[in-house]
A and B are shown apart, each in its own frame.
Chain A
Amino acid sequence: MNWMRRIGFLLSITQSHGIARRYFVVNGFDGALTMLGMLTGFYVSGGVRPELAVSACLGAAIALGVSGVSSAYLSEAAERQKALRELEEAMMSRLDESAHGEAARLVPFAVALVNGLSPLLVSLIIIAPLGLAHTRYALTVDPLLGAIATAFGVIFLLGAFLGHVSRAQWIWTGLRAVLIAALTSLVIFAIG
């Protein structure tokens, strides 16, 4: 059994697939909205140099990633240990050497990675137009506007993914997420 299948098996026996998926979307949305907020703020204040915007956004993205990994690991490790002890009581035997023991040790890492990498990855995609501003891959539009448009695109995809998971109309769940992002931007414009 290769490690990917093994992790899949451990997520399955602990019923953690849903948790990982939820963390992916929730923290991805956090990352996307944070980036959108920062980018809109830069735009409202008259724009900044792309390098400065990249540094600021990257700093926030790294902080979101580290926060995601550490908070999810601590809470998941505690939850998995609790679940393992309860199962041990029901089974009346130690399960440290079983797949459940392995899951209690490894699943928190896997879920924490999803939780941390999701906002980091989403943020890197969103700030890509800024990072590429002075390269030959630069967009023809203002890089700040390009990054804001990318943020809306990513937010739509996250919403659509939720719709796909819940077997609802993905286009509506995507648009609903975009509406939340648009409201956020409007508030920033209003107070900016």
Chain B
Amino acid sequence: MPAVKRILLDILKPHHPNALDLAQAIAALRADYRVSLKVTAVDEKTESAELVVEGDAIEFDGIKEAIASMGGTIHSVDGVEVSGSPTEPPAKGS
């Protein structure tokens, strides 16, 4: 089954919890996650941010839930890196 190795998300979040708290909450989901979060725009009550998560097999739903639990929402999935690992060997002669 293909494994997601890297994902780039455009998110909207309240000012609090701050970028560090949110990044830590996502990184705490799995030991192999590496998280990078960059605030790109700041509004009166919210801020937009670019979130990059890298890992061996990223679980998108878990990340989405962690962001929602911190009051944030995902605007769009702006980039992904997926590693394929075929479940069946290719048929002979094909």
Q: Which residues of A contact B (CB under 8 A)?
A: 9, 12-15, 86-87, 90-93, 95, 97-100
A99 CA / B17 CA spacing, docked (Å) = 9
B65 to chain A, nearest CB (A): 10
Given pairs A86-B45, A95-B71, A99-B69, 10 additional interface contacts (CB within 8 A): A9-B17, A9-B21, A13-B14, A13-B71, A90-B44, A91-B72, A91-B73, A99-B17, A99-B71, A100-B14
Q: What is B's interface to A at a CB cutoff of 8 Å?
A: 12, 14, 16-17, 21, 43-46, 68-73
Q: Determine the main DSSP class of A at the interface with B.
A: helix
**Across-interface contacts of A86 in B (CB, < 8 A):** 45
Question: Which single residue of chain B is at the shortest CB-CB distance from A14?
Answer: B16
> Are A91 and B12 in contact, CB atoms less than 8 angstroms apart?
yes
**B21: chain A residues within 8 A (beta carbon):** 9, 13
B12, B14, B68, B71 pick with most chain A CB within 10 angstroms = B71
Q: How many A-B residue pairs have CB under 8 A?
A: 42
Across-interface contacts of A87 in B (CB, < 8 A): 14, 45, 71
Residues of A close to B14: CB separation below 8 A? 13, 87, 90-91, 100
Residues of B near A93 (CB, < 8 A) are 73
The one of A13, A91, A95, A97 in contact with B16, judged by C-beta atoms closer than 8 angstroms, is: A13
Query: Could you tell me the distance in whole angstroms from the C-beta of B47 to the nearest C-beta in chain A?
Result: 10
Listed by A's residue number, 11 A-B pairs whose Cβ atoms lie within 8 Å are A12-B16, A13-B17, A86-B45, A92-B73, A93-B73, A98-B69, A98-B70, A98-B71, A99-B70, A99-B71, A100-B71
Interchain CB contact under 8 A, A15 and B16: yes
